[in-house]
Amino acid sequence: GGVELAGKAVGASFVGAVAACLAITESVRELHGGTGFDIITMNLDTMDSTRASAAVRADVISVPLTPAT
């Protein structure tokens, strides 16, 4: 299916897949000690992106991970 956004037709499933990938990468980045982004603006036609680093680290998991015994 297609959706018209800002006067352009886009594939709804493709846009959803990209958004899902960005959500997963942000969680994984924070879990591995990296700094996430507060804002990501991406043009899927040209793959240009603008990012704003997070002002505060996200609390992805509030309990420290410990190995199973």
Whole-model pTM? 0.56
pLDDT of residue 65: 63
Rg (CA), the chain: 16
Q: Give the pLDDT band (50/70/90) at residue 15.
A: confident
Range 30-51 average pLDDT: 81
- 26 SS3 class: helix
Q: b/e map of 36-54 (b: 16 or more CB within 10 Å)?
A: bbeeeeeeeeeeeeeeeeb
- Characterise 47 by phi-psi region: left (phi > 0), alpha (psi -120 to 50), beta (else): left
What is the rounded average pLDDT for all residues in the chain?
Answer: 76
